[in-house]
């Protein structure tokens, strides 16, 4: 018999988990062992997040204001967050898009499509911030979830791989939120569904490698070798999924796996922990970390508003 799922707990878990993974991942650039990182976290008065969380917050605000994903509204929210706090660690792509929109009067998606000699970005920026899409649309048909993730990505990432990476990340979160952590977790089924859900060879092939890594119980060091660790979404998001599947029953171990093996550590943490938080809920995230998260009360309140909006939308 399936146990009742506490959706509010999981909404909070995914977003707060994302922010904590982001903030601790940022610390991991300088403190690269578990012992050192734990010491620094313990001594820190606050855990500061980066653009990963800032853009996640912008998506929540956009959904709260208009109830859906719309390019211009979301792009404006991203842009506002950037110009208020440009020091959050943004990669050059989004600010370039925002600048082109302001100076040329073109759409966000048009500006995004002009990046990288007209190919668009296939970085992990659209995937790192997609947690609100995964939780808010988790119970809608897969093709609808994919479309919402695609629309959220297009504002800054127009390359098919960048879009696909964001959609697969959103689906991982959507699947995790529907699962009770006390039920048996079929890891092979979870990754197999993501393989089938993906639409590009680059993402699909890496998801197949994740499946092999989990089935063979291979180490994170081997996973990094096989998956890569660049800012390209097909060389980062799959390792986040691996980190979650490797440590699905522990938020802490999932986080440490994601951030302590090189690469884009804050974004790896944000992606892995948004899945872990969606699965385990906020009740299974260490309270000592939650209390130190920058702007926790503000983010928590936004999450609660998003949950209430979800409940009200589904009620009718």
Nearest Cα residue to 278 out of 149, 152, 74, 136: 136
Q: According to the model, what pLDDT value does residue 35 have?
A: 96
Q: Let me know if residue 316 belongs to a domain.
A: no
Q: Let me know if residue 138 belongs to a domain.
A: yes
Q: According to the model, what pLDDT value does residue 150 have?
A: 98
Per the structure, the count of domains in the chain is 1
Q: Let me know if residue 1 belongs to a domain.
A: no
Residues with Cβ within 8 Å of residue 43, at least 6 apart in sequence: none
Q: Let me know if residue 143 belongs to a domain.
A: yes
Q: What is the CATH number of the domain that holds 220?
A: 1.10.4080.10
pTM of structure: 0.97
Domain of 296 in residue numbering reads as 7-311
How far apart CA 196 and CA 7 sit, in angstroms, is: 26
Q: What does the pLDDT profile of the chain (316 residues) look like in tens digits?
A: 468 899 999 999 999 999 999 999 999 999 999 999 999 999 999 999 999 999 999 999 999 999 999 999 999 999 999 999 999 999 999 999 999 999 999 999 999 999 999 999 999 999 999 999 999 999 999 999 999 999 999 999 999 999 999 999 999 999 999 999 999 999 999 999 999 999 999 999 999 999 999 999 999 999 999 999 899 999 999 999 999 999 999 999 999 999 999 999 999 999 999 999 999 999 999 999 999 999 999 999 999 999 999 999 886 5
Q: Let me know if residue 293 belongs to a domain.
A: yes
């Amino acid at each position: 018999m399936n146990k009742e799922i506490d959706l509010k707990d999981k909404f909070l878990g995914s977003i707060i988990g994302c922010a904590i993974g982001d903030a601790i991942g940022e610390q991991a650039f300088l403190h690269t062992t578990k012992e050192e990182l734990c010491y620094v976290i313990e001594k820190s008065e606050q855990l500061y997040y980066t653009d990963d969380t800032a853009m996640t917050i912008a998506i929540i605000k956009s959904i709260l204001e208009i109830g859906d994903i719309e390019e211009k509204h979301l792009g404006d929210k991203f842009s506002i967050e950037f110009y208020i706090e440009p020091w959050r660690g943004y990669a050059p792509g989004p600010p370039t898009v925002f600048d082109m929109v302001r100076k040329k009067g073109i759409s966000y998606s048009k500006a995004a499509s002009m990046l990288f000699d007209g190919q668009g970005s296939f970085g992990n920026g659209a995937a790192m911030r997609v947690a609100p899409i995964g939780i808010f649309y988790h119970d809608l048909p897969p093709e609808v979830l994919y479309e919402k993730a695609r629309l959220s990505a297009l504002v800054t990432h127009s390359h098919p791989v960048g879009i696909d990476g964001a959609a697969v990340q959103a689906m991982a979160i959507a699947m995790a939120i529907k699962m009770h952590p006390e039920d048996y977790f079929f890891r092979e089924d979870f990754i197999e569904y993501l393989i089938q859900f993906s639409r590009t060879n680059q993402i699909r092939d890496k998801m197949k490698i994740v499946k092999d890594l989990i089935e063979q119980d291979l180490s994170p060091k081997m996973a990094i070798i096989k998956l890569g660790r660049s800012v390209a979404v097909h060389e980062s998001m799959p390792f986040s999924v691996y980190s979650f599947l490797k440590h699905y029953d522990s938020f802490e171990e999932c986080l440490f796996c994601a951030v302590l093996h090189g690469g884009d550590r804050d974004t790896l943490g944000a992606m892995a922990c948004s899945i872990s938080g969606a699965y385990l809920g906020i009740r299974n995230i260490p309270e000592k970390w939650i209390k130190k998260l920058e702007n926790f009360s503000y983010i928590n309140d936004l999450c609660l508003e998003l949950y209430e909006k979800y409940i009200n939308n589904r009620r009718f």
